[in-house]
C-alpha cells in the first residue's frame, strides 16, 4: 500500500465534502431550507435499504447503495439540475462528464474507474440495480413535496401533470408498488392544486 494511494483517497474524500454545499430545489421536512445533495444521498440510500423488498427484480443491495451514494458526486462541479428545467438539462450531460473526469480522476486509477462506472450505470438505467436506485431517487423528492404541501417545489415552479408523470413514471421500471403509491401522491397534489393540470 503506497502512501501516495492513501493521500489521493483522502484528498478525494476532502474534496467531496463540497457536496454538502450543493443546493437542490426540494425542501427538507422541517421546511426551513432546501435540501443539499449530500444529505439527499444519505436519504436515498436509506430509501433503498428500507424499500428494497419492493423492487420489481432481485437486486444486489450493496450495489444499489453504492449507486445511491456515488451518482450525484458530479454535482460538485456540475451543480444540481432541477429535473423540470428543460434548458438546464440541455447541457447537463456534458457538464457532468467533465465533472466526473475531474472528481473521480482524483482517486487511484482503479477506484476512479469504479466510481465512473457506477455513475454511468446509474445514468443508463440498464441494470436492475440502477432501475431501482433511479426509482427511489425519483420517489424521495416526490415524498418531500407531498409533505411540503403548499410549499412544494411542484407548486413553486408550476409543474404540470404531464411533466410530473414524465419525470416520475420511470419509478415503475424499478418498482411497480412504489410507482402505484407515487401516483396516489401525484393525484392528491393535483386535487390540492400543487400540480397544475397542464
CB of 182 to its own copies, least distance (A): 11
CA 96, CA 91: separation in Å to the nearest integer?
Answer: 9
Q: SS3 for 32-69, per residue? A: CCEEEHHHHHHHHHHHHHHHHHHCCCCCCHHHHHHHHH
Helix (H, G, I), strand (E, B) or coil at 24: strand
Q: Which of residues 40-99 bind its own copies (CB under 8 A)?
A: 41-43, 45-47, 49-51, 53-54, 61-62, 65-66, 69-70
Partners of 160 in the beta sheet? Answer: 196
Are 100 and 43 in contact, with CB atoms under 8 Å apart?
A: no
Binding string, residues 12-51; x marks residues near its own copies by CB under 8 A: xxx-xxxxxx------xxx-x--xx-xx-xxx-xxx-xxx
Are 8 and 108 in contact, with CB atoms under 8 Å apart?
A: yes
Task: Figure out which of the listed residues 59, 74, 100, 107 binds its own copies, where binding follows CB under 8 A.
Answer: 107
CB of 38 to its own copies, least distance (A): 4
How many CB atoms neighbour CB 58 within 10 A?
10
**Residue 177 lies near its own copies (rule: CB under 8 A):** yes
Which residues in this chain contact its own copies in the complex, by CB under 8 A?
Answer: 1, 6, 9-10, 12-14, 16-21, 28-30, 32, 35-36, 38-39, 41-43, 45-47, 49-51, 53-54, 61-62, 65-66, 69-70, 107, 111, 140, 143-144, 147, 177, 181
Amino acid at each position: 500500500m503506497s502512501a501516495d494511494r492513501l493521500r489521493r483517497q483522502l484528498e478525494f474524500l476532502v474534496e467531496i465534502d463540497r457536496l454538502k454545499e450543493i443546493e437542490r430545489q426540494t425542501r427538507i421536512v422541517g421546511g426551513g431550507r432546501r435540501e443539499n445533495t449530500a444529505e439527499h444521498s444519505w436519504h436515498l440510500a436509506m430509501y433503498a435499504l428500507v424499500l428494497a423488498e419492493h423492487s420489481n427484480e432481485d437486486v444486489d443491495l450493496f450495489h444499489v447503495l453504492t449507486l445511491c451514494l456515488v451518482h450525484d458526486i458530479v454535482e460538485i462541479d456540475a451543480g444540481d439540475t432541477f429535473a423540470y428545467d428543460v434548458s438546464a438539462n440541455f447541457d447537463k450531460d456534458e457538464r457532468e462528464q467533465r465533472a466526473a473526469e475531474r472528481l473521480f480522476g482524483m482517486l487511484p486509477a482503479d477506484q476512479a474507474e469504479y466510481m465512473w462506472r457506477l455513475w454511468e450505470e446509474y445514468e443508463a438505467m440498464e441494470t436492475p440495480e440502477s432501475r431501482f436506485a433511479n426509482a427511489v431517487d425519483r420517489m424521495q423528492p416526490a415524498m418531500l413535496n407531498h409533505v411540503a404541501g403548499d410549499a412544494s417545489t411542484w407548486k413553486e415552479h408550476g409543474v404540470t401533470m404531464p411533466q410530473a408523470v414524465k419525470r416520475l413514471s420511470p419509478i415503475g421500471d424499478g418498482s411497480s408498488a412504489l410507482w402505484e403509491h407515487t401516483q396516489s401522491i401525484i393525484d392528491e397534489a393535483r386535487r390540492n392544486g400543487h400540480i397544475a393540470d397542464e
